[in-house]
Structure 1
Amino acid sequence: MLRKRWFRWLIPGLNIKRWLALYSLGVGLLIIGISLLFNYQWLSYIEDIVLAYSYSLTGYYNYNVLILVGTILIVIAALLILLGTSKVIKTIIRAVLPDPSSKVSDIIFQNIRLDKGPKIVVIGGGTGLSNLLRGLKDHTSNLSAIVTVADDGGSSGRLREDFKMIAPGDLRNCLVALAEQEGVMENLFRYRFDGDNELSGHSFGNLFITALAQVYDGDVEEALEAASKLLRVRGRVIPSSTEFIQLSAELVDGTIVNGESNIPHSGQAIKRVFSTPALPKPEGAALQAIDEADVIILGPGSLYTSIIPNLLTDKIADHVRASKANKIYIANVMTQPGETLGYSLADHVQAIIDHSGVGIVDTVLANDGPLPIQMVEQYSAVGSEPMAIDSKRLQEMGIRTVRATLISQEKPAVHDPERLGKVLMDIIYAMKSDMEPRVLEYYLRRADH
């Protein structure tokens, strides 16, 4: 078996044999050079040739020529060995590089830097989570996204009902967001079939994950692992649970609304959300990731249908509270119609605490970048308002608030992934030095943010 593996390197077309030969030549010259320096007798015939040539040029035998020739051969050998080794490594690495035009050294140093990044666990779902992951993947590869799986609308809902599996939609978005290079695969995974047929409305990515789950006998975790390898994902995407979960909400008037997709359309304020079954069994990988995390991030995303559902899973909230990691809640830029109408930032945090207990959050990150008046008016027309940051109330709750500009002018209603990722990493490193929130905010207002 080992022989077969070794001979694979000699298959024509790999462009490796020539560099191995060059490397071997370098080693051979190195041996000869060292031998000449130390005057080994078995190389006397080479010495004779060198000395005879020296005599023909100078008229006498100059033994210093041997030292000079040996030194030259060693230098040439060293250069050949370095060149051969470099070419072999580049040939192997380029075979697995996502972008053939990338420089090998850049890839190596980038991977080393990302591997040394902090261990970050992000808990949530929806567009907010995938945006955040896009911003963080350029700073660390030690990312774990714990994703809600109760979505029962659209393509995810249909596949969930047909195959009695967890909703693949948010899992798909996170996989694409964490891919080393987004492009063709991103477009492919997001592609939705149109027309009037059974595939109409389905996302290719959802179908792909569903098919993989069937290939692995319903093991969604194995399916996600396979998809992660295909997309060269930085980090891990973990469902909070693999049980078939229904999310329900109790409204302030006592009415019960069943189904995640129905909750935002209830027309009334939400008192609490709960799942059936109660306390779904968690994924072991999710609990392990939380226990090993340096930082745990909640949000951004829909409060009652993306963030809190994960915390309803058995033991997840307990492990988050027990963790010594910093726990950061990222506030949405705007409130959400049907879920958080009229909520302040402290109201959001209080809802999380009511469902998960005190100690689930210790820091809040909120946007204080200016919002275009026209955009605010458009969102106000549908019941969405800029997030009100009531820092004093949060302080009374024992939670520190950090403000920073987290949006771009192009899409001011949502977080800018690059800006959000950079600010978060600054906060994470600042927390290690116990920097005061006011000092940190001043630092975050620099021009490069």
Structure 2
Amino acid sequence: MKKTLIKNGRIITMNEKREIIQGDILMEKDRIKEVAPQIEIEDARIIDAEGKVVIPGLIQTHIHLTQTLYRGQADDLELLDWLKERIWPLEGAHSYESNYISAKLGIAELIKGGTTAIIDMGTVHHTNAIFEAIDESGFRGIAGKCMMDYGKGVPKTLMEDTKTSIEESLRLLKKWHGRSNNRIQYAFAPRFVISCTEELLLRVKDLSREHGVMIHTHASENRGEIKILQKDRGMRNISYLHYLGLTGKNLILAHCIWLEDEEMKILAETETGIAHCPNSNLKLASGIAKIPELLEMGATVSLAADGAPCNNNLDAFQEMRSAALIQKARLLSPTAMPAKKVFEMATIGGAKVMGMEKELGSIEVGKKADLVIVNLDKLHSCPKQEVDVISQLVYSTGAADVETTIIDGKVVMENRRLTTLNEQEILRDANKMIHQQLLRGNIKKA
């Protein structure tokens, strides 16, 4: 049986008209074949969504699956201290096995929270393990090996030479880009400018265009980072990346908090993708990005949780809520960031940043069958009648309200039970592995 029919759901289409309809969705293989008030078919598997809401799979455009294992190991630190004292030594301690376990832990959490696609940045070594976990779980991801060939404070376990970094990235690209029905794609992932030589950045620019893949990096997250860059390269982040010719639709920049007006203009005019990570930015005290202003200028903005050690969860619903609330407080305006705009960022906005808006981000005929069924019949979201459903999803809903997750037409979670991953095995392995990793990284317990 290759057809699946979701019946009787309240469908948040996120199509051009932003229609919300009561009805059915027919999926065939990996695609949405029909959306209608009522679909009758005999040879399909039926999923009853009576009283439930069906939404496009949520998209997070900046994740570190490699860090999920280190949740709770780097709390209450400023970004550069957080990296140098805890995260970089821990990432450098990764083995293939520990990176694989970390990735599976993150993917399981993401699926259970209704996230169906991510853009991921691995660490310097053992990135193949992350791709293996994505592939085996049926998850959708654009991912890449972290590239670091420069900078002070980088441990020897992460520092690499430019040639090796590029060669390993190309090897992974050749092996994984377009695999599993294009569910897996590659992106070059220089960590951030201050950990990369100009030679590496220019080579990445050329290779990304040659191979038609994305570039995923961090930019303007922290004032200290910008000071280092200005001293080292004589320019601010966005201006420098633009000077090198990296800005454009194939570039994804995480954070973009400390921007000058001219930098904001560059991002909007070049259609560079922005991954807004509100809870990570709050926890690391990095600042609050000027998202309403960027959107007003026409910038392409999406949402993400970042990594588990700086959040400390991967719940897209929490990111939506925070993304709305922090702007209301920053601008002292309840309309500064409406729920509908935030939900767009988590769906069709994420698809645009991935370069996949023709495939993902809305429930429309011909698009990929990445769908999520949410139960709003809970105390914290009741009453569910006579209220705006988008507002409910943004302000009242959490990861635990997701009942079913479908990726590429395959049910990867049903009735809160993962179907492609063994949850108990993942919990056991992660809890066992963390002690070993702290010892390998010569890190004291948090």
Instruction: Decide: shared fold, TM above 0.5.
Output: no
Normalised by the length of structure 1, the TM-score is: 0.33
Greater Rg, structure 1 or structure 2?
Answer: 1
Q: Which structure carries more helix by proportion?
A: 1
Q: Which structure carries more strand by proportion?
A: 2
Greater RCO, 1 or 2 (C-alpha within 8 Å, sep 6+): 2
